[in-house]
């Protein structure tokens, strides 16, 4: 019940996480789209023209209040400060912020020009009035100087008052010229003023030189990426179709063309390792975690470290045998049949052994088979856990290479290890070992096959359905046994690291599995 609750909680947690991701994506999508649109439409020249057109009407109004424009300028500067303080993480967000700051700076420069213009317009009215007032003073002073000049005799020295009048007249005339020029500019300013776009662009571009460089790089990379994507898109689509369709095509061809041909050829040239063997086999015990094994006089039990000794006769002799067969050291080590415990007794007794499922966490069960005299069993030594043999007549183990057999190459099992009776074999398997008779003909999944009596004809057959093969649940070819005998298979075959992901994740395990299968281990 607790496992079900944990699975339900885990499922809900994953779905909730997916829901959060979808919500975040939906929330960010419009913002990212808007940011992209802003960057695509951003043009510095267009912004300057747009701001100039918007502010031109204010510049044309002579009645514009200087204070109103000053307030507007201060407000825009405050907005600019707020924009600068905005925090951004994504590069597009940073570029959008900089583009908004750019526009704000353009508006500030334009408003500053308007303020200068309006201030000039306001002072211009006063200057024109001052020009009119000073003209009468200048006229009077000119007449006075003229009269003094007429009264002045050539031999008489110029008086100080005369000199002061001339100096004052020159100053008033120079001032009057300045006033006239300013008044003239004022009178024509309302119709001729334009926002100086060149000055604004030079000033603002100097402030945002780094931003404009990044914007240019962004646009170039966008165009290059889009162009490259459009260029390679057809090839990418064809490659994707090839990746999708090639496994389907290959598996379809293999299932409907190669597999039937292989089945026909291997049945015609089936492997039979011991034609003269009887094919007899006796099951001495059902699958169990513990097995009671009877030892007679002159018999010994050899078992691997995969089993634990639970009980033995008090007078039993115990020793260590390093390899099950010194003629096959690599096979003994690879199958785990090394550092074996040897138990023998001078009298009849019972030895109890069990699986060490506590330390390795597996679900191994063991079974005892009797291989009588004149019978032999093809066996993968990896499932062997122990042997009961006569000390005077030890079990005979032979190796048979079949490099010229099509079945061997199709299953990639090039060598077969045969155990000859009389002997008792203690076998281990996930949830136990199943022993079934082979009548007219039997097919078996290769993953589960552990062995068969050596008198049977061994070949291959196409697996049951195409979908199970395509989905990776079954291999293309099953093992096929025909004749009168028995075949052995694991009740619950362990998972294999099939498929590309399994190969990439565990390459050394895959290589080891292939090599051990090739030599029949």
pLDDT digits (tens, 9 = 90+) for 117-162: 776 677 777 777 777 777 777 777 777 777 667 666 544 556 677 7
- Which comes out higher in pLDDT, residue 319 or 243? 319
> Does residue 478 sit in helix, strand or coil?
strand
Write out pLDDT tens, residues 250-299: 888 888 888 888 888 888 788 888 888 888 999 999 999 999 998 988 88
pLDDT of residue 502 exceeding 70, the answer is no
Q: What gap in Å lies between CA 233 and CA 60, rounded to an integer? A: 55
The predicted pLDDT at position 501 comes to: 42
The predicted pLDDT at position 154 comes to: 47
Name which of 364, 424, 436, 433 is nearest 390 in CA terms. Answer: 424
Mean of the pLDDT values across residues 182-200?
70
pLDDT of residue 323 exceeding 80, the answer is yes
Instruction: Please list, residue by residue across 303-317, b when 16 or more beta carbons sit within 10 angstroms of its beta carbon and e when fewer do.
Output: bbebbbeeebbeebe
**325: confidence class by pLDDT, cuts 50, 70, 90:** confident
Tell me which residue has tokens 């009269």.
Answer: 147
pLDDT of residue 164 exceeding 50, the answer is yes
Q: What are phi and psi of 187, to 5 degrees?
A: -65, -30
pLDDT of residue 105 exceeding 90, the answer is no
The two three-digit tokens of residue 102, written as one number: 């750019």
Write out pLDDT tens, residues 12-59: 666 566 566 656 655 555 555 556 666 666 777 777 887 877 776 665
- Which comes out higher in pLDDT, residue 502 or 509? 509
Q: How far is CA 407 from CA 254, 262, 402, 460, 461, in A?
A: 16, 8, 9, 6, 10
Which range scores top for mean pLDDT: 222-226, 246-250, 335-339, 368-372?
368-372
pLDDT of residue 63 exceeding 60, the answer is no
Cis peptide leading into residue 422 (ω within 30°): yes
Mean pLDDT of the chain: 79
The two three-digit tokens of residue 313, written as one number: 């006769």
Helix intervals (H) in 313-353: 329-335
Q: What gap in Å lies between CA 15 and CA 33, rounded to an integer? A: 27
pLDDT of residue 499 exceeding 60, the answer is no
Find the helix or strand (DSSP H, E) in which 293 lies: strand 290-295
* Integer Rg of the chain from CA: 51
The predicted pLDDT at position 138 comes to: 79
Assess contact for 148 and 165: CB atoms under 8 A.
yes
Assess contact for 423 and 458: CB atoms under 8 A.
no
Chain centre distance of CA 73: 50
| Helices and strands (H, E) in the chain, number of each type | 14, 19
pLDDT of residue 480 exceeding 50, the answer is yes
Q: What is the DSSP letter of 484?
A: S
Whole-prediction pTM value? 0.57
Assess contact for 101 and 195: CB atoms under 8 A.
no
| Interhelix angle 66-85/91-151, nearest 10 degrees | 150
Q: What are phi and psi of 177, to 5 degrees?
A: -65, -45
Q: What is the DSSP letter of 308?
A: E
Percentage of the chain modeled with pLDDT above 70: 77
Q: What gap in Å lies between CA 294 and CA 348, rounded to an integer? A: 7
pLDDT of residue 436 exceeding 60, the answer is yes
pLDDT of residue 496 exceeding 70, the answer is no
Name which of 488, 506, 517 is nearest 409 in CA terms. Answer: 517
pLDDT of residue 60 exceeding 60, the answer is no
Mean of the pLDDT values across residues 184-201?
71
pLDDT of residue 477 exceeding 50, the answer is yes
Q: What are phi and psi of 185, to 5 degrees?
A: -65, -40
- Which comes out higher in pLDDT, residue 440 or 412? 412
Assess contact for 365 and 287: CB atoms under 8 A.
yes
């Amino acid at each position: 019940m607790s496992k079900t609750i944990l699975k339900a909680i885990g499922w809900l947690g994953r779905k909730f996480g997916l829901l959060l991701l979808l919500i975040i994506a939906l929330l960010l999508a419009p913002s990212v789209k808007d940011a992209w649109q802003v960057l695509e439409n951003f043009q510095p020249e267009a912004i300057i023209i747009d701001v100039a057109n918007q502010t031109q009407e204010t510049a044309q109004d002579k009645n514009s209040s200087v204070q109103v424009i000053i307030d507007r300028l201060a407000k825009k500067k405050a907005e600019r400060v707020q924009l600068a303080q905005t925090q951004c993480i994504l590069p597009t967000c940073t570029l959008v912020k900089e583009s908004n700051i750019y526009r704000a700076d353009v508006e500030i420069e334009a408003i500053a020009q308007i303020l200068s213009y309006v201030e000039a317009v306001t002072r211009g009215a006063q200057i024109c009035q001052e020009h009119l007032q000073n003209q009468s003073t200048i006229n009077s002073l000119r007449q006075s100087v003229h009269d003094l000049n007429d009264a002045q005799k050539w031999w008489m020295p110029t008086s100080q008052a005369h000199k002061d009048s001339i100096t004052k007249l020159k100053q008033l005339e120079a001032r009057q010229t300045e006033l006239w020029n300013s008044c003239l500019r004022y009178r024509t300013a309302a119709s001729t003023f334009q926002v100086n776009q060149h000055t604004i662009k030079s000033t603002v571009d100097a402030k945002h030189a780094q931003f404009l460089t990044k914007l240019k790089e962004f646009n170039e990379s966008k165009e290059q990426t889009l162009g490259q994507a459009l260029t390679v898109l057809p090839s990418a689509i064809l490659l994707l179709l090839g990746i999708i369709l090639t496994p389907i095509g290959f598996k379809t061809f293999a299932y409907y063309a190669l597999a039937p041909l292989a089945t026909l050829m291997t049945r015609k040239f089936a492997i039979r390792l011991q034609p003269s063997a009887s094919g007899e086999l006796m099951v001495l015990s059902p699958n169990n975690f513990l097995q009671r094994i009877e030892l007679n006089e002159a018999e010994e039990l050899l078992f691997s470290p995969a089993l634990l000794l639970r009980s033995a006769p008090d007078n039993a002799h115990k020793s260590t045998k390093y390899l099950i067969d010194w003629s096959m050291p690599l096979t003994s080590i690879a199958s785990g049949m090394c550092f074996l415990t040897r138990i023998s007794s001078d009298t009849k007794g019972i030895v109890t052994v069990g699986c060490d499922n506590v330390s390795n966490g597996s679900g191994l069960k063991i079974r005892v088979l009797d291989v009588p005299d004149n019978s032999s069993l093809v066996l993968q030594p990896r499932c062997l856990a122990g042997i009961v043999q006569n000390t005077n007549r030890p079990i005979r183990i032979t190796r048979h290479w079949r490099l010229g057999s099509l079945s061997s190459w199709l299953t990639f099992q090039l060598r077969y290890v045969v155990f000859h009776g009389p002997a008792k074999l203690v076998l281990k398997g996930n949830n136990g070992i199943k022993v079934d008779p082979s009548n007219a003909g039997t097919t078996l999944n290769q993953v589960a096959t552990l062995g068969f009596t050596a008198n049977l004809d061994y070949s291959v057959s196409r697996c049951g359905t195409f979908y199970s093969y395509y989905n990776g649940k079954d291999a293309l070819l099953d093992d096929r046994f025909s004749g009168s005998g028995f075949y052995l298979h694991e009740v619950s075959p362990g998972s294999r690291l099939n498929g590309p992901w399994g190969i990439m994740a565990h390459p050394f395990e895959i290589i080891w599995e292939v090599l051990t299968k090739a030599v029949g281990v």
